[in-house]
Amino acid sequence: MVEEDSLKQQSLLAAWWSMVMRDLTLAMRRRADVLTTLFFFLIVVSLFPLGVSPEMNILRGIAPGVIWVAALLASMLSLGRLFSDDYQDGTLEQMLLLPQPLSVMVLGKVLAHWLVSGVPLVLLAPLLGIQMGLDSSAIGLLMLTLLLGTPVLSLIGSVGAALTLGVRGGGVLVSLLVLPLYIPVLIFGTGAVDAGTSGMDFEGHLSLLGAFLVLAALLTPLATAAALRISVE
Amino acid sequence: MLEVSGLEVMRGDHRLFTDMSFSLQGGELLRLRGSNGSGKTSLLRTVCGLLEPSQGEVLWKGKNIHSQRDEFNGSLTYLGHHNGIKAELTGFENLRLSSALGGKAIPDDRIYEALETIGLGGREDLPTQVLSQGQKRRVALARLLLSDADLWVLDEPFTALDVKAVAMLSGLIEGHLQKGRMVMLTTHQEVAIRAGEVREVDLDG
């Protein structure tokens, strides 16, 4: 019995890993999709020095907020890719019929989505931080908050993407559903950087972001799986 | 093995069928008949557990399929209207993936062999988006060659196939039935399938 259980776990792990690799491979073969959201992120942030003021002191003050809001929008833009292609070609249907728990498969898909659309945002943040006049410790903190926060965005976003699957104008609907739920992440993400630059304690903010991540990783795959079953009906 | 009792399926406000009951034993073929829109696809999807019936239940080995989803899915291969293959991946990659996701990794040479048998020899490593409709369908059908599931649920498996492929697929179905397994399918074409027991369910009558 114990042996059978461990065998089951192994096959589940193997299936989970093939799901992650599948989505990474697909993203590599459709690089343009990934690059457009990254350019979107870069361009939105670059508009602020032009539109608000090139004055470094002003930019430094708004930088964490601007970069975080741009990251929210970029991560939301990429949500469309998460399930809709699979829905259209019938592979989502097949995914629902796998002999594996659907929420585990969903977690694999979200992880792949974050690696492709969230991690690049974290890696690009220093470049934008320099452009907005942030110093190196603030940039480090910004990257850390993004590293903790962007997976939460992908996880919450997956629920919205699953709920609006197959709905006409789903893209706009996703933003209405998901953006309000992004607010706590935004508040504590920018709050940590602001606290850090003004010399205050920022550990509380980071702990809360970490707590959001743990909660989201535990709960959202279940909600997403349920939403997918309803959407495919 | 498979038992459907008192099934009623609604699409929107429209009742497709009500009080549908039948059962399927090992070695038996069930053929669904009915005009367009009579609910053949909906019935197949309900049997797979993709659709929730408004009344009645589907039992597999005496237990409701929704209470043992993982076990039931493990003994099911479903082929729907959509091929369920990724256009960016090659035929080989698609098959390897679907077996790995199903938790049963299949050796590479068996996958190549299946693609060869299904008539895609030499095209195994092309992305499926460059294949024709019929060839894409063949990639999807190659899953059947690699499947050892007890129950096959096939929705219009013969569409977009040429004569040779139709003959091969019906041979495949016969082989599956001879192993004492079950097949449930819909088709508009009259395809001769020799099977021990053929059941028919007519959704128009």
B187/B43: higher pLDDT: B43
State yes or no: pLDDT of B35 exceeds 90: no
Q: Which domain holds residue A36?
A: 15-232
ipTM of the complex: 0.90
Whole-number pLDDT of residue A124: 94
DSSP result, chain B: -EEEEEEEEEETTEEEEEEEEEEE-TTEEEEEE--TTSSHHHHHHHHHTSS--SEEEEEETTEEGGGSHHHHHHTEEEE-SS----TTSBHHHHHHHHHHHTT----HHHHHHHHHHTT-TT-TTSBGGGS-HHHHHHHHHHHHHH---SEEEEESTTTT--HHHHHHHHHHHHHHHHTT-EEEEE-SS------SEEEEEES--
Whole-number pLDDT of residue A156: 96
pLDDT in tens, A207-233: 999 999 999 999 999 999 999 999 988
Tokens of B115: 């693609």
Does B73 lie at the interface with A, CB-CB under 8 angstroms? yes
Sequence-distant (≥ 6) Cβ neighbours of residue A98 within 8 angstroms: A15, A105, B73, B101, B102, B103
Average pLDDT of every residue of chain B: 89
State yes or no: pLDDT of B195 exceeds 80: no
Evaluate whether residue A2 is within a structural domain.
no
Whole-number pLDDT of residue A180: 94
Report the C-alpha gap between A12 and A111 in whole angstroms.
Answer: 16
Q: Which residue of chain A has the CA closest to B12?
A: A233
CB nearest B100 (choices: A18, A94, A97)? A18
Evaluate whether residue A84 is within a structural domain.
yes
Q: Please, which pLDDT band fits residue A2 given cuts at 50, 70 and 90?
A: low
Whole-number pLDDT of residue A54: 86
Q: Are B97 and A99 within 8 A, CB to CB?
A: no
Instruction: Name the residue with tokens 């989803």.
Output: B69
Which B residues, 16 through 55, put their C-beta within 8 Å of a C-beta on chain A?
A: 48-52
Report the C-alpha gap between B77 and B142 in whole angstroms.
Answer: 12
Evaluate whether residue A93 is within a structural domain.
yes
State yes or no: pLDDT of B205 exceeds 70: no
A52/A2: higher pLDDT: A52
B93/B196: higher pLDDT: B93
Which conformational region is residue B49 in: left (phi greater than 0), alpha (psi within -120 to 50 degrees), or beta? left
DSSP result, chain A: -HHHHHHHHHHHHHHHHHHHHHHHHHHHHTHHHHHHHHHHHHHHHHHHHHHT---HHHHHHHHHHHHHHHHHHHHHHTTHHHHHHHHHHTHHHHHHTSSS-HHHHHHHHHHHHHHHHTHHHHHHHHHHHHHTT--HHHHHHHHHHHHHHHHHHHHHHHHHHHHTTT-TTHHHHHHHHHHHHHHHHHHHHHHHHHHHHTT---HHHHHHHHHHHHHHHHHHHHHHHHHHHHHH-
- The mean pLDDT of B135-151, rounded to a whole number, is 91
CA distance B44 to chain A (A): 12
pLDDT in tens, A153-171: 999 999 999 999 988 877 7
Evaluate whether residue A1 is within a structural domain.
no
Average pLDDT of every residue of chain A: 92
Whole-number pLDDT of residue A21: 95
Residues in chain B with CB shorter than 8 Å from the CB of A101 are: 70
Residues in chain B with CB shorter than 8 Å from the CB of A112 are: none
Q: Are A93 and B49 within 8 A, CB to CB?
A: no
State yes or no: pLDDT of A71 exceeds 80: yes
Evaluate whether residue A35 is within a structural domain.
yes
pLDDT in tens, B90-106: 999 999 999 999 888 88
- The mean pLDDT of A176-203, rounded to a whole number, is 92
- What's the structural domain count of chain A? 1
Evaluate whether residue A9 is within a structural domain.
no
Q: Which residue of chain B has the CA closest to A99?
A: B70
Whole-number pLDDT of residue A83: 92
Interface of A with B (CB under 8 A): 11-12, 14-15, 18-19, 22, 25-26, 29-30, 88-91, 93-101, 105, 232-233
Whole-number pLDDT of residue A7: 79
User: Residue B144 in contact with residue B72, Cβ under 8 Å?
Assistant: no
Evaluate whether residue A227 is within a structural domain.
yes
Tokens of B162: 């040429």
Evaluate whether residue A199 is within a structural domain.
yes
A187/B205: higher pLDDT: A187
Instruction: Name the residue with tokens 């060659």.
Output: B145
Q: Provide the number of CB pairs (under 8 Å) joining chain A to chain B.
A: 81
Whole-number pLDDT of residue B89: 93
